[in-house]
Amino acid sequence: MYSMETSFGQAQAPSAEKRWKIVEATARRHGREAHALIETLHTVQECFGYLDETALRYVAHVLSTPLSRVYGAATFYHFFTLKPKGKHTCVVCTGTACYVKGADALLAAVGREAQVGPGETTADGRMSLVTARCLGACGIAPAVVLDGTVVGHQSPKSLLRELKGWLDRGAVGPA
Ligand code: FES
């Protein structure tokens, strides 16, 4: 639940995570301009990989904009992705810090083992694979978010170990 009494920028973030600070900073920067909503939704997508209801509600509060308008923009523009359909969600950060530390290898390993590409969901619906541009966790690059939990310093082997229980019959194992 978010605080309603807020003037611009004072809405309470869904969690203390640094990513929400980045979203709020974007909203503050563009808050009085016509494109503020689009810019803020872009930042959510870059930080989280997709837009879910929690994020859309937060954006509506931060910008003091009706939720219907936020949903309208999120569903109208093809470059926005709503929360993927998989039972579990794996977000691999492909921002600069994570890229340098091997994000590509993480994506390749997951793609190979789970037969899924970025933006796709496994055929059995167990996991969606998503990319984000920076999770605000560059200090622990390469970083991944597994069902909302940020985990850092990942290697293909450690990530596949994390995902093992998610995928069909535990077919994924350490490389
Ligand atoms: S670039 Fe990946 S967390 Fe910042």
Mutate to test the pocket of ligand 1, among 47, 100, 134, 151 (most ligand atoms within 8 A of CB): 134
Which CATH superfamily does the domain covering 88-167 fall into? Glutaredoxin (3.40.30.10)
Sequence spans of domains, the chain? 18-76, 88-167
pTM: 0.78
Give me the long-range contacts of 144-151 (CB less than 8 A, separation at least 24).
144/90, 144/91, 144/92, 144/93, 144/106, 145/48, 145/49, 145/89, 145/90, 145/91, 145/93, 146/88, 146/89, 146/90, 146/91, 147/88, 147/89, 148/89, 150/17
Q: What is the pLDDT of residues 5-40, one digit of tens each?
A: 334 545 688 888 889 999 999 999 998 788 999 999
Q: What is the pLDDT of residues 139-159, one digit of tens each?
A: 999 999 999 888 999 999 999
> How far is the centre of ligand 1, averaged over its atoms, from the C-alpha of 117 (Å)?
20
pLDDT at 11: 67
> How far is the centre of ligand 1, averaged over its atoms, from the C-alpha of 7 (Å)?
30
Mutate to test the pocket of ligand 1, among 91, 101, 135, 145 (most ligand atoms within 8 A of CB): 135
